[in-house]
């Protein structure tokens, strides 16, 4: 094994991003300002729907919190989401004093199961938070229909879903109340840390903007650029500190330009891995249907029954072969906080539990070469048969 270790994920930051950050550093304005505004506009342009508003925030977690706050989630309410996600999806519900109702997934797609959502609805239900797991869209037509029928809000956790389409339409334009994207280091584009809340609802957007910055009626850049005395502002709520810096937005402007090329590269790598891993005792990632685009944030395989190797041992062997890998996610129902808070057991989530026990996320990112993908394939073959 004389090849260097292949990390599980790496960001792709180019000279244009670096130059833009340097320009920001020299400009005299490093916090939220002109570049954050440009990034928001560029994001709306990318989604291709001028009726949308994009609100840049310092993480997707912040964006999800703001969206739930803006639709009025609070104590006594319940929010339904999937157990098969990162804790950020659910923790924001607890920030607001509301309760989380975790539900199981569809084993074919690993996405939240609309039937399980329907079964979890109570008079306290306020909102549904689908997660587009790995970058494959959840069943949004079914989820939006359930929400309409029961008068529930829908906030999409689209941390994996840039760009994801379903029925030819991009996630972000599907008609939920709000959609939140992540620009964390390992996501499909990155600003180091960052996120974007997208909505067509003007009142939701207005509330999220105020709450993004301390509940202030005017932001600092607005006051700084005013040509009349502009020291005055009002605090209208106890808000948060969730604004995105211009340093981060500088990265985002160029990452977004590169997104179509990034997407093509991820698709090509996924296709190469699918091909190379065919015929093995593995369940390969679910493929997008007609008119759908998979963002390929994650490439998740499951060991088939009869694979002859346990998941943990399989990961050890991949590491021994120089391949970084991960597990997305340890389902929320297994974590002490969620388990104890709601008295959860694996038997309540048979599909998520079954998938968790067998799944591994393999490396898939734009800086990987075809040879890197082939190395992953070879290592998987060896780990299964060696
Ligand atoms: C990454 C991620 C988040 C959180 O994103 P941040 O930008 O790090 O706050 C939320 N949900 C899911 C499913 C994620 O993968």
Q: pTM for the complete prediction?
A: 0.97
Residue 112: strand pairing partners: 105
Do 174 and 211 reside in the same domain of the chain? yes
**What average pLDDT does the chain have?**
96
Q: With a 6 A CB cut-off, is 58 part of the ligand 1 pocket?
A: no
Do 292 and 320 reside in the same domain of the chain? yes
Which domain-ending residue is among 208, 238, 256?
Answer: 256
Residues 240, 65 contacting (CB under 8 angstroms): yes
| pLDDT for the residue 273 | 98
Give whole-number Cα distances, 306 to 225, 328, 357, 384, in Å.
66, 22, 13, 10
Residue whose CA is at the smallest distance from ligand 1 atom 1: 159
Residue whose CA is at the smallest distance from ligand 1 atom 15: 159
**80: Cβ contacts below 8 Å, ≥ 6 apart:** 101, 103, 117, 120, 121, 125, 127, 128, 129, 152
Q: Which residues are catalytic?
A: 187
Q: Is residue 316 part of a domain?
A: yes
pLDDT in tens, 165-183: 999 999 999 999 999 999 9
Query: Which of the four pLDDT bands, split at 50, 70 and 90, describes residue 2?
Result: low
Do 129 and 60 reside in the same domain of the chain? yes
Q: With a 6 A CB cut-off, is 131 part of the ligand 1 pocket?
A: yes
- Where does the chain show beta strands of DSSP type E? 53-57, 78-82, 99-103, 125-129, 153-157, 165-166, 169-170, 178-182, 195-199, 282-283, 299-303, 359-362
Q: With a 6 A CB cut-off, is 130 part of the ligand 1 pocket?
A: no
Do 180 and 320 reside in the same domain of the chain? no
Q: Is residue 335 part of a domain?
A: yes
| pLDDT for the residue 227 | 79
Which domain-ending residue is among 256, 279, 307?
Answer: 256
Task: Using CA atoms of 250, 253, 255, 256 in order, give the dihedral in degrees to the nearest 10.
Answer: 160
Q: Reduced to 3 states, what is the DSSP secondary structure of residue 2?
A: coil
Average pLDDT of the segment spanning 221-240: 85
Q: Is residue 249 part of a domain?
A: yes
Query: Which of the four pLDDT bands, split at 50, 70 and 90, describes residue 1?
Result: low
The residue that leads in pLDDT, 222 or 247, is 247
Q: Is residue 5 part of a domain?
A: no
Residue 208 has pLDDT above 60, yes or no: yes
Q: Reduced to 3 states, what is the DSSP secondary structure of residue 297?
A: coil
Q: How is residue 323 annotated by DSSP?
A: B
Do 268 and 202 reside in the same domain of the chain? no
Do 244 and 308 reside in the same domain of the chain? no
Q: How far is the CA of 182 from the centre of ligand 1 (A)?
A: 6
Ligand 1: atom nearest CA of 85 is 13
Q: Is residue 144 part of a domain?
A: yes
Residue 366 has pLDDT above 80, yes or no: yes
Q: Measured between alpha carbons, how far is 25 from 17 in angstroms, rounded to an integer?
A: 12
Q: With a 6 A CB cut-off, is 239 part of the ligand 1 pocket?
A: no
3-state helix/strand/coil string of 74-110:
CCCCEEEEECCCCHHHHHHHHHCCCEEEEECECCCCC
CATH number for position 280: 3.90.1150.10
Q: Is residue 131 part of a domain?
A: yes
Mutate to test the pocket of ligand 1, among 89, 90, 328 (most ligand atoms within 8 A of CB): 89
Q: Is residue 95 part of a domain?
A: yes
CB atoms within 10 A of CB 151: 8
pLDDT in tens, 307-341: 999 999 999 999 999 999 999 999 999 999 999 99
Do 109 and 215 reside in the same domain of the chain? yes
Q: With a 6 A CB cut-off, is 85 part of the ligand 1 pocket?
A: yes
Residue 219 has pLDDT above 80, yes or no: no
| pLDDT for the residue 225 | 81
Do 164 and 99 reside in the same domain of the chain? yes
Q: How far is the CA of 298 from the centre of ligand 1 (A)?
A: 13
Residue 359 has pLDDT above 60, yes or no: yes
Residue whose CA is at the smallest distance from ligand 1 atom 5: 60
Q: With a 6 A CB cut-off, is 242 part of the ligand 1 pocket?
A: no
**What radius of gyration, in Å, describes the C-alpha atoms of the chain?**
21
pLDDT in tens, 70-129: 999 999 999 999 999 999 999 999 999 999 999 999 999 999 999 999 999 999 999 999
Residues 191, 249 contacting (CB under 8 angstroms): yes
CATH number for position 251: 3.40.640.10
The two three-digit tokens of residue 144, written as one number: 């939006």
Residue 38 has pLDDT above 90, yes or no: yes
Q: How far is the CA of 253 from the centre of ligand 1 (A)?
A: 20
What is the total count of domains within the chain?
2
CB atoms within 10 A of CB 250: 27
Do 301 and 241 reside in the same domain of the chain? no
Q: Is residue 84 part of a domain?
A: yes
Q: With a 6 A CB cut-off, is 184 part of the ligand 1 pocket?
A: yes
Do 156 and 239 reside in the same domain of the chain? yes
Which domain-ending residue is among 192, 227, 256?
Answer: 256
348 is in which domain, residue-wise? 260-385
The sign of the CA dihedral 263, 267, 171, 166 is positive
Q: How far is the CA of 159 from the centre of ligand 1 (A)?
A: 5
Do 119 and 236 reside in the same domain of the chain? yes
Do 177 and 87 reside in the same domain of the chain? yes
């Amino acid at each position: 094994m004389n090849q260097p270790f292949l990390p599980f994920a790496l960001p792709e930051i180019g000279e244009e991003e670096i130059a833009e950050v340097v320009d920001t550093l020299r400009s005299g304005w490093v916090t939220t300002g002109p570049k954050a505004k440009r990034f928001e506009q560029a994001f709306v342009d990318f989604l291709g729907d001028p009726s949308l508003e994009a609100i840049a925030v310092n993480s997707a977690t912040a964006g999800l919190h703001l969206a739930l706050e803006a639709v009025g989630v609070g104590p006594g309410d319940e929010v339904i989401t999937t157990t098969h996600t990162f804790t950020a999806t659910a923790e924001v519900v607890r920030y607001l004093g509301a309760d989380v109702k975790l539900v199981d997934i569809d084993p074919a797609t690993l996405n939240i199961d609309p039937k399980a959502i329907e079964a979890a609805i109570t008079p306290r239900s306020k909102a549904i938070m689908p997660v587009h797991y790995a970058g494959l869209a959840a069943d949004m037509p079914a989820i939006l229909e359930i929400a309409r029928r029961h008068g529930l809000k829908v906030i999409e956790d689209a941390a994996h879903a840039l760009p994801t389409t379903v029925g030819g339409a991009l996630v972000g334009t599907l008609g939920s109340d709000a959609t939140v994207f992540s620009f964390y280091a390992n996501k499909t584009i990155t600003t180091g840390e960052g996120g974007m809340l997208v909505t067509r609802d003007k009142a939701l957007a207005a509330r999220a903007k105020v709450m993004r910055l301390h509940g202030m009626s005017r932001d600092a850049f607005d006051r700084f650029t005013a040509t009349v005395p502009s020291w005055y502002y009002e605090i209208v709520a106890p808000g948060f500190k969730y604004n995105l810096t211009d340093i981060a937005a500088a990265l985002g402007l160029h990452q977004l330009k590169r997104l179509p090329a990034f997407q093509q590269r991820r698709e090509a790598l996924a296709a190469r891995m699918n091909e190379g891993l065919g015929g093995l005792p593995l369940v390969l990632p679910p493929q997008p249907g007609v008119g759908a685009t998979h963002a390929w944030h994650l490439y998740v395989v499951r060991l088939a029954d009869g694979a002859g190797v346990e998941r943990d041992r399989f990961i050890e062997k991949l590491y021994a072969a120089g391949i970084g890998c991960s597990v997305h996610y340890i389902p929320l129902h297994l974590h002490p906080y969620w388990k104890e808070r709601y008295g959860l057991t694996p038997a309540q989530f048979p599909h998520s539990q079954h998938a968790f026990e067998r799944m591994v996320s393999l490396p898939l990112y734009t800086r990987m070469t075809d040879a890197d993908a082939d190395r992953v394939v070879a290592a998987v073959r060896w780990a299964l048969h060696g």
